[in-house]
Amino acid sequence: LQFTEEKLGQAEKTELDAHFENLLARADCTKNWTEKILRQTEVLLQPNPSARVEEFLYEKLDRKVPSRVTNGELLAQYMTEAASDFGPGTPYGKTLIKVGETQRRLGAAEREFIHCASINFLTPLRNFLEGDWRTISKERRILQNRRLDLDACKARLKKAKAAEAKAAVTL
């Protein structure tokens, strides 16, 4: 009732401290940007949406995500196979072997980067959203409910005093 009357402008609302309001606004901003950064980093690390969904499902089921071959590693494999077809002694075969080995190392570096970024960057962001932010939201709801209770009590007290004053005037 108090919440509805406040929204309709029929009841007074106790304002929170300006510093506290600023902290709440900063918390909201932090949450929004953390979500955006998390999503975009996931897109950067795994551009394939179906692979992201698969990884998400594995994560939610607490199962190990199967290892994927990176595009660089796959290209290295193709180059090595092509080099064996052309012959490792031919100039083209030698070049394919060298470039294939370089691509393999690049693919391995990419895999390591994805793994490290996931552990060292994405995990803390997820921990904030799933842990700290839930706590902040819960405490915010509790504070809002307590403020509404306080305002409702203030309104009842005001009505009681008004009724008492009116009764004293009529006597």
Domain ranges of the chain: 1-170
Tell me what pLDDT residue 151 has. 87
Which pair of structure tokens corresponds to residue 41? Answer: 């980093």
Tell me what pLDDT residue 6 has. 65
Which residue carries 């390591």 as its tokens?
Answer: 112
Average pLDDT, the chain: 89
pLDDT digits (tens, 9 = 90+) for 48-105: 888 888 888 888 888 887 778 888 999 999 999 999 999 999 999 999 999 999 999 9
Long-range contacts of 162-171 (CB under 8 A, 24+ apart): none
Tell me what pLDDT residue 109 has. 95
CATH class belonging to 1-170: mainly alpha
Residue 171 reports pLDDT greater than 70? no
The rounded percent of the chain whose pLDDT value lies above 70 is: 94
Tell me what pLDDT residue 36 has. 97
Within 8 A by CB and 6+ apart from 97, the residues are 79, 80, 83, 88
What is the mean pLDDT of the segment spanning 26-53? 93
Tell me what pLDDT residue 7 has. 65
Residue 156 reports pLDDT greater than 90? no
Neighbours of 140 (CB within 10 A): 13
Residue 137 reports pLDDT greater than 90? yes
Could you tell me the pTM of the whole model? Answer: 0.74
